Amino acid sequence: MPAGANLYDLRSSLPYFFDDQRHNEPLFEALAKAAAEAGVDADAEDEEDEAGNGKRKIVQWETHAVLETVAAEVGGGETSPLSSSSPGEQSQHPLNRKVGLRVHLRDLAEATRLSEQAARWVALVAGPRYDPRSGILRLTDERLPTRSENARSCARMLSALVAEGKRKHPSAV
């Protein structure tokens, strides 16, 4: 903190944190594209979309935001413990690039027209990522350097699981 700064006035100490968050738009666009590649409508509302055509969101995305304190030189040899990365820059904490998605297998089967046998095959192939008690399939990735790349990776995994289910048990419809 700069000398004489009010500890409880974070708007003046960390103004970029409270600024407009439009710099996150590329991430949101990448998530929407990844969801579209997986065959799900990421822009639909939980119950119904604005048009009222019955579509609903089936994929829930999970991300982490860890704010870290980094000592940096302010000027005149002073150090500020509250400096961080610039406004558009992601923090280097490893959890900040981790992305997950959750989807009910029943909803995924409806949206992608998987047969019951294909849905069971997807659950079997997913292994511990599928919880049979809740019926939720959870995929996560943190191997790649950015959140958007990890989101695309999760979407590719989901798409690959659906393709494997359709390959093993093609529907008669």
pLDDT in tens, the chain (173 residues): 556 666 566 556 555 555 555 555 666 666 677 666 655 554 444 444 444 555 668 899 998 888 766 555 555 555 544 444 444 454 578 888 999 999 999 999 999 999 999 999 999 999 999 999 999 999 999 999 989 999 999 999 999 999 999 999 887 55
Instruction: Say if 108 falls within a structural domain.
Output: yes
Q: What is the pLDDT of residue 95?
A: 86
Domain count, the chain: 1
Can you give the residue range of the structural domain that contains 119?
Answer: 21-66+88-168
Find the CATH number of the domain harbouring 127: 3.30.160.20
92: enclosing H helix or E strand = none
The answer as to whether 12 is a domain residue is no
How far out from the chain centre does Cα 122 lie? 21
Query: In whole angstroms, how far apart are CA 36 and each of 43, 88, 168, 170?
Result: 10, 25, 23, 21
Q: Is 40 within the bounds of a domain?
A: yes
pLDDT, position 49: 45
Say if 134 falls within a structural domain: yes
Conformational region of residue 141, where left means phi above 0, alpha means psi within -120 to 50, and beta covers everything else: beta
Q: How many CA atoms lie within 13 A of 124 on its CB side?
A: 10
